[in-house]
Structure 1
Amino acid sequence: MKKRFIIMPILLMGLVIANLFLADQDNRTMAFQNEGNAKPNVMLPIVINGSNLTPSSSEATLSIVQNRGYVKCATGSSLPGLSFLNPTNSKFEGLHIDFCKALAAAIFGDATAFEIVPVTGSSRFIILQTGEADVLLGPSWTLSRDTSLGFDFQPTTFYDGQGMMVPKNSGITTLQDFDGGKICVQAGTTTEKNLANTMSDLGINYQAAVYPDSDSTREAYDDGLCDGFTSDKSALLYHNTLLSQPENHTILAVMMSKEPSGPLTRHGDNKWGDIVMWTVNCTIQAEELGVDSTNVDSMLGSDDPNIASLLGVEGDLGVGLGLGNSWCYHAIKQIGNYGEIYNRHVGSESSFSMARSFNELWTNGGLIFSPPLR
């Protein structure tokens, strides 16, 4: 009997030690698995153009914006249809600008509570990193920008990429229609290489008319020397405004490269990133549900629980964002759903008449998609 009582405590102690060892192993395994996925909560200084930059304040961005009374959006000023300083009225206009307005409407209930911080290609990331702007609109989403610059990309608002502009009366609707034709393209660019690769893959015989810069390429096309003019679609929007008769040209739905763009926020402030993310998603979900700026008031009485939740009639989605429950209602009422924003600036209601293509809702074969708002 005594031996059995002695052995039992030894066995119990062994089991405890074994369990502690296994738990330690599990913890180390979990730490290793999480190491590759986790993003640091503290943003370390990064080097841009030789300067060490950190956010100008540790205060949460939403608090700063609310205390200031308006949101500061950084974006370019020379891309008609996307972000453009209109010389006729000295106002910023475009698809990216409307998402800044939607953000202001969601936060303040006032789409005019915003300020545009004009940036260049070389200054835009510094402006966001130093806190001179709350959000950067329009840069292309790449792995290096997402991981090494200390930023978070929010939902894509415009799927850009290399496109093709043609005269509306040309009868050209696909790349196959260029068989035996001539295309104006800038020499020594990835645009020229993408065109050659795409046409080769499709087995299309064409002639590339190359020019030294974008202006001479556009001018040759405008003079009727080519059947089409290829560049990124955002660039084609700009060049279209410089043609002798812009209204006589259209940009095809075809896409020969990938350049997804949208809002960019700083690492380390997830609540602010959530607000930007879900404001974009609000406009997308509204289009999916058939809610727009013209019918949003009547939709407040909808029996559809998804619409009631979206507009803040039911539930408390706004509370989770730190906003009022009518945040999405204000964005839709004052700015519109995604389709309205797109068509107003680059689509069917604009002078560009650009087909939605990848910028169509997922339910219509495009890539525009919102997770459920519930």
Structure 2
Amino acid sequence: MNRYQILRSRAWQAALLLVPLCLPPAQAQAPAPAAAAAPTEVLLVQVQGDVRINGTPARTGALPAGALVQTGVDGQVQLRTTTGALIALPAGSELRLNAASNTVALNAGGLRLSTGGAEWRVALAERSIRTRGYLKLQDCAAGCTLPKGLYGRIAQGEAVLEYQGGRSVLRTRAFRWADASSRPEVLADLPALLDDRNSQAEATRVRTEVAATLQAGIAAFRDGQDAAATQGFERVRALAPGETLVPYYLGLLALKRADNATAVQLLQQYAREDPEGAAARDVPQTLTLLSSVQLQQEVASAVQREAEVVGSPPEPGSIAVQAFVNKGDANFRAMAKGLAAMIIADLSKVPGLKVLEREKVQLLVNEAKLGDSGLADTASAVRSGRLMRAEKVVVGNFEVQQP
């Protein structure tokens, strides 16, 4: 049995011995708590245009607890709860769900809420609305020609509008609410802001603009007009953040500027948001090559700035595992990386421990010209550890003895 096998076996024995010590005695066990009421589940049933859930493109199905729902300038989404409530968000809205109760927080834009018979609360900045029925809300934000404020309509049932210093109870009325310190103003007529037909017309206009601007940007990129292409793609990103082709082309433009770090970030975003499109455009292969080049640049820079790097504090909880040194038959040299990989696999399972990338460790060793023979040398190990800003470094050697 080699040294690593002995060490690994002893580590497992120690772990097995420690496990029983962590168990509480039978008589000390607390009684099982009462089962909690099942939280309200929210389902995304319809999505159109740019809609994001916790910052990622929306997909139909169950939403995570406390999810943040955002719609872009051309986005619309409809949600349904397991208790029968319906929530619709128009374009330019942001809503935070609350899994513990029938509560939502409207941060921007508007909503359409049908409570399904239960009472719901809409939290706003320093004010709130409690309602049972059907409620429409829309903020008069940038581009709105009406007096500023939150506009709403109680189409069915009633709503209690609570603000600093008071509250108002409204039934089947339209209103304008200027701010948290003001009493809501009842309106005689329904404002156009709450007419969903206007919102749909605006969404159609934005979709048309996005499509035209995207095509113009692609044409400019194809013709080598990088400045115009960048401007077009940035405009599309502002109008429709969920358009997946934007990070792809901006990543290619970053490559042309030799900005590899930005290119990697943008192309990784594209690969996450459109895996099939990324595969068709060979993005995974490009990312592999870029990551390797970027890693080599980081390593070369660290060695060139050795005096500065070694003076920086190490990353807390970090450990680097170097390839073992073969002290025996050269035919077994491949085991050097295999043994290191086994140790890395085990250490990666330890909570709170950050194992540095094996490829980066090897590149640093090569760049610093330590060589295989230098890995087992204490001074060389310390130097490599400082270059990697690792708190601890694992080095070792092995020898295969044949009969």
Which category of TM-score, normalised to the shorter sequence, fits these structures?
under 0.3
Structure with bigger RCO (C-alpha 8 Å, 6+ apart): 1
Superposition TM-score, scaled by structure 2 size:
0.23
Q: How does the TM-score come out when normalised to structure 1?
A: 0.24
Structure index of larger Rg: 2
- By percentage of residues, which structure has more strand? 2
